[in-house]
Amino acid sequence: MALLPFLLLAISIVSADEDAFIGVNIGTDLSDMPHPTQVVALLKAQQIRHVRLYNADRGLLLALANTGIKVTLSVPNEQLLGIGQSNSTAANWVSQNVVAHYPSTNITTICVGSEVLSTLPNAARVLVNALKFVHSALVASNLDRQIKVSTPLSSSIILDSFPPSQAFFNRSWNPIMVPMLSFLQSTNSIFMLNIYPYYDYMQSNGVIPLDYALFKSLPSNKEAIDANTLLHYSNVFDAMVDAAYFAMAFLNFTNIPVMVTESGWPSKGDSSEPDATLDNANTYNSNLIKHVLSKTGTPKHPGISVSTYIYELYNEDVKPGPLSEKNWGLFDANGVPVYILHLTGSGSVLANDTANQTYCTAKEGADAKMLQAALDWACGPGKVDCSPLLQGKSCYEPDTLPAHATYAFDTYYQKMGKVSGTCDFNGVATITTTNPSHGSCEFSRSDSKNGTFINSTAPALNMTSSGSLGLASSTSSIVLIGVLSWFYTTVYLLTIFWLIFYLLGVLDDDCFALTTLKRVLRGYGSDTLGSKLKMGDRHVEFLVVFDDSSL
């Protein structure tokens, strides 16, 4: 009966400030880290609206500017001692890494260190000071209401985590935990926790079933039951989140929301890690995303889902440790998916498309003249091979301006490695995940990671039309140039022959070359050489006329 007063005390008034979201951690321990603009292009294509950085990488912060993507920055552990011991050092960090980028870059949260209590215990004594100093710098910049400050903790600091109602923090850390929780509560911040059911499962010696760790559906008689609350738990994730709520309540903090800053499952491991597989990783992350976005919440807090950052965006091939440490990513360094998530009906984020299959298409309703000018640019200065758009070729049909523009736009976009800004064309193009291929016209994906274009925007298009060609397609112009080149080459060769024959004394007519050329032209059936190139409803005509009176 002694437990009852505690359970009454543990009733939480936690509420969500916004709808729960799925974010992604971006690690950089890659031998060939993608350019920041490509990272952002991938985030946009996958509709990832929340990211967490493990530092304050300037390149990524600049690339994320004006995207609307919400960014969580981190003070790396190696900078924690300096910031925790000096208010001015903290102020300088905030000035250089936050104020310099906000609000263009939508920074919403600062993580001060990561798993400090379990991985860097010697720095634990300055952790709370570091939190306060960073927050004070935000106050001085009038940003404390826009940006929250917290620190991610390992779930290992929670002892006796099942049943959740009996969970408590490692008491040796109470001198740190109590003032830290007090700070989080007073600043309306969040309790950050890294939850890895994979490790819980691996270390349980068979006590935790694999299906329970993977969010797989369990019959009610297989669910874990908290004997004190009679709450049923169908997965490790929810049990650990509720354990955090109960552990905070044990210290009399009942209104601090939990955010999961890391969770995931490795897709590959060594011989001692048989459950680090593609299928398990796919199952866990797919079910995690669906669980969070379904807003079912946890048994203790039904209807209040916990925002979660998936660990992680890329496989980090140079990360130290066992093979599994290098294989937590959703994508490899080239933006190719490690596996395809099963997310039918789970909203837009990563919606059934982790294959990075993005395409550039003509925007519906775009102005025809601007669309034509953009097509001209792509097939001309943009150096796109538009020959498949010629009559009789694979992408000629349908013979419409938007269809032809889509082919040219996407070819340019793929050629440039899908770099941010290469699918704009003065506002008449847009990125889509729907493959525009049709019939014999196949739109190919680019396997280039960086391409040859590293600037964040494509060159400005020359939208001015001039000369007698008007708005004629650049593809037709390219063919016209080819025909004219053939014609002038013929004239040149005939002139050379005439000169040789003349020098040899063979000629008795100074106009032999012109006469011969005239006969060549008559071989085409007319004294007038004419050609009409057709590319849809856009025509180019040229005439070369020889007057008999001049011969």
Query: Which residues, at least 6 apart from 193, have a Cβ–Cβ distance to it below 8 Å?
Result: 152, 153, 154, 155, 240, 241, 244, 258, 259, 260, 261
Distance CA 84, CA 151 (A): 13
- 115, 273, 316, 397: which is the annotated catalytic residue? 115
Which residue in 135, 146, 133 sits closest to 105, CA to CA?
Answer: 146
268 φ, ψ (degrees, to nearest 5): -155, 140
Contact at 8 Å (CB) between 147 and 110?
yes
- 262, 273, 316, 325: which is the annotated catalytic residue? 262
User: Identity (one letter) of the amino acid at 360?
Assistant: C
Contact at 8 Å (CB) between 335 and 42?
yes
Neighbours of 180 (CB within 10 A): 22
Distance CA 127, CA 119 (A): 13
Residue indicated by tokens 């060939």: 32
User: Identity (one letter) of the amino acid at 33?
Assistant: M
Contact at 8 Å (CB) between 69 and 50?
yes
Active site residue 115: yes
Cβ burial of 218 (10 Å; 0-12, 13-18, 19+) is middle
Active site residue 262: yes
Six-digit token pair at 517? Answer: 């050329």
Distance CA 267, CA 283 (A): 10
Q: Residue 53: beta bridge partners?
A: 26
The residues carrying an active-site annotation are: 115, 262
